[in-house]
Amino acid sequence: MELIIALIIGVLTTSGVFLTLRGHTFPVVLGLTLLAYAVNVFLFAMGRLTIGLPAVIDPTQAEYADPLPQALVLTAIVIAFGMTAFLIVLALKSRSELGNDHVDGQSCPEGEIPVETDVQKQIQRNEQL
Amino acid sequence: MMSLTFLPVLAPLLAGIIILLARLGGLNLQRLLSMLSVLLLTFISLELMQQAVQGQTQVYTLGNWVAPFGIVLVLDQLSALMVLITSILALGALWYAVTSKIDAKGSHFHVLFQIQLFGLNGAFMTGDVFNLFVFFEVLLLASYGLLLHGGGAARTKGGLQYVVINLIGSTLFLFAVGTLYGILGTLNIADMAVKVSQAQPEDLGVIAAAGLLLLVVFGLKAAMFPLYLWLPQAYANTSAPVAALFAIMTKVGLYAIIRVHGTVFGDSAGELAHYYAPWVLGLGLITLLLAALGVMAARGLREQVTYLVLASVATLLIGLGLNSAEALAASLYYLIHSTLIAGGFFLLADIIARGRDQIGDRFISANAMPQAVLIGGTFIFGAIAMSGMPPLSGFFGKVLILSSALDHEWFMTILGIVLVSGLLMIVAVARSGSLMFYHTQPDAPQGESLNSLAYGAVVMLFATGIILVIFAHSITLLTESTAQQLWQSSDYIQAVLNTRAVGGN
């Protein structure tokens, strides 16, 4: 089980980092979400992996799982959820204000707000072909 | 007597909620409530400061759960000092926002402002690392809203990068917190310090790694090299009162380094005692050099001020990296100065930009602005204070930091970099000042005349530069006793862990 959890955290983090380094806002949002998943699983595993144990002390059971990481994860999930929602709205706002969805507002000359029309895009695409 | 310790955290939160409800009563009612709340906060923090200087560390157990099981709010001299600086800065920033009507440019300015103060004060007072994370998120969420206040393409662009980089920072914070919890089994700062001193030798490597990861997170907040690139974009493009309030935001990162690293990896930490300090010192030196180059290369006044803020952060990092009680005391003196003066300078930059009409704060010659003599005089004052020339507080702060570095093995490097960067900053600020106030075009359009009420906020914040000099002796005594208290982290640890539940046994 340890190996599977470790692999899951590793894969999630790798994909998250890869996506976060992309230039467009949408992959970045996805990457941050994956990173948040990875850290949630990681926090959870930090209370040690146990199976079938109660989180709250049960007199019939000899041991119990560490409840604190579960509380932490819950907080972290809520915060990550809110932040992601905010980021998506902000990404949409920047798409409409900057005219493109690059994280650094690429191809936007200073003081100008380019508005790419569909026609221009079509022309560009034709030229590239 | 009832403890006031929780009030700096609770008051802005309640004020924020009330102001949100007071929306129906119109903007003026919101303004009034917001000002009242900040004034109240200033009085509370003055009172708390008076209590704190008596040397007793006050601990407030939330929900009457004692540490290390519950979350505690801790008031020692450092937290009281930070809360006090925050409320003075907030007073100036809010006064400017109200008088220049910047708060009317979007909705919920005052609500976000109060929530921002809630997050800041919470971060300064909490005694628990996870709770610190939560308060970081609170202050960040409010800062996202404030940063974007008023809208505009450049603001959105800077804001997006600010949000993304801080989300990555939050993720790293959780990784570090998780690792520390996995090894130490606690997240209370005082308890962590005890557990680190008892840690098994094979765990030390992991603890050190997690500690450095935390340093990365706090370094990101403090804008330490190489994690400072978000700062100029975000601060230069936001509205003036928000930028002024954000002068304290970088100091939150510095505070967290002092509090968490200073306590957990203090003298008691055995092999790990102060292992982070050379990193802070080295990165601080690089940051300072780059910040000075940034000040030289800036194309507009606000951009220049952001790099000056960066330089002040870097100077503080050097002070922390020197790692002695003396250097810590010097850094705290410089921290008070740099936060308040930087806040005032952001406001002044906005006043100058308004006086120059279309040209704004860009370094192009324009018409002489209305009341140029008065504004120019204020600019010289701020420039002298920020770049660290005598006779103002910036100079004393730097002298104190340098004199505490005398015995350090890197002294020549530190001296060289601090002095060279200081020179570069003086040259750059002198150049921008002469360009804006002397190279004027007679036929260019003139901007708004000076808003003297808003100007009052700048005067108030800059006046602290004079107060810091006049009362330099008593203030250095205060910072020295604060540093002494921090240096003996065992007092803090004892105070937190020995607190008993109210009414319990």
Cα–Cα dist B313/B334, whole Å: 10
Map out the domains of chain B as residue ranges. 1-273, 276-470
Contact A94 B156 (CB under 8 A): yes
Map out the domains of chain A as residue ranges. 2-128
By Cβ distance, the residue of B148, B167, B178 closest to A46 is B178
Mutation for B interface: A22, A86, A106, A110, most B CBs within 10 A? A86
Report the phi/psi class of residue B71: left, alpha or beta, with left for phi > 0 and alpha for psi in -120 to 50.
Answer: beta
pLDDT digits (tens, 9 = 90+) for A103-123: 776 654 444 444 444 555 555
Phi, psi at residue B102, to the nearest 5°? -70, -30
- What residue of A is the nearest CA neighbor of B70? A68
Contact A90 B156 (CB under 8 A): yes
pLDDT digits (tens, 9 = 90+) for B147-184: 888 777 888 888 888 899 999 999 999 999 999 999 98
ω into residue B391 within 30 of 0, thus cis? yes
Chain centroid to Cα B493, Å, comes to 25
pLDDT digits (tens, 9 = 90+) for B364-416: 777 777 788 888 889 999 898 888 888 888 888 888 999 988 888 888 999 99
* Under 8 Å between Cβ of B379 and B458: no
Q: Measure Cα distances from B197 to B45, B154, B489 in Å.
A: 34, 49, 13
Contact B156 A93 (CB under 8 A): yes
- Å from A59 to nearest chain B CA? 21
Contact B168 A72 (CB under 8 A): no
More confident residue, B427 or B363: B427
For B81, half-sphere exposure in the C-beta direction (CA atoms, 13 angstrom radius) is 27
Cα–Cα dist B384/B396, whole Å: 12
Question: According to the model, what pLDDT value does residue A128 have?
Answer: 58
CATH code for the structural domain at A2-128: 1.10.287
Average pLDDT of every residue of chain B? 88
* Under 8 Å between Cβ of B458 and B378: yes
More confident residue, B51 or A99: B51
Question: According to the model, what pLDDT value does residue B347 have?
Answer: 92
pLDDT digits (tens, 9 = 90+) for B93-151: 999 999 988 888 878 899 999 999 999 999 999 989 999 999 999 999 999 989 888 77
> Of B270, B265, B271, which is closest to residue B323 (Cα–Cα)?
B265
| Predicted-complex ipTM score | 0.85
